[in-house]
């Protein structure tokens, strides 16, 4: 399995939107996404390269597997 690498925030948003998350609001440089059944909202920073530790935290919060993440990233 490939390593998680930093990605542009727009690409990361596409991944989570394909998984069913929807845009809720924006607060400064952070976009908030929600999904029914997920207790905490995802907070995605609008960085040109979102760091790996933030991506891993988002995967944990959304309960998305690494396999699913890479599958959606390729689309």
**pLDDT confidence of residue 66:** 96
Q: Domain ranges for the chain, please list them.
A: 9-74
Among the four given CATH numbers 3.40.50.720, 3.30.920.30, 3.40.190.10, 3.40.50.12780, the one describing domain 9-74 = 3.30.920.30
Mean pLDDT by 10 residues, the chain (75 residues): 94 97 97 96 97 97 96 93
Please provide the DSSP assignment of the chain as one string.
Answer: -PPP--B-HHHHHHHHHHTT-EEEEEETTEEEEE-TT-SS-EEEE--SSB-HHHHHHHHHHHT--HHHHHHHHH-
């Amino acid at each position: 399995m490939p390593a998680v690498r930093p990605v542009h925030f727009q690409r990361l948003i596409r991944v989570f939107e394909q998984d069913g998350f929807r845009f809720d609001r924006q607060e400064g440089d952070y976009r908030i996404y929600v999904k029914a059944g997920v207790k905490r909202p995802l907070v995605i920073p609008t960085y040109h390269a979102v760091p790996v530790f933030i991506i891993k935290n988002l995967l944990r919060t959304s309960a998305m597997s690494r396999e699913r993440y890479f599958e959606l990233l390729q689309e």
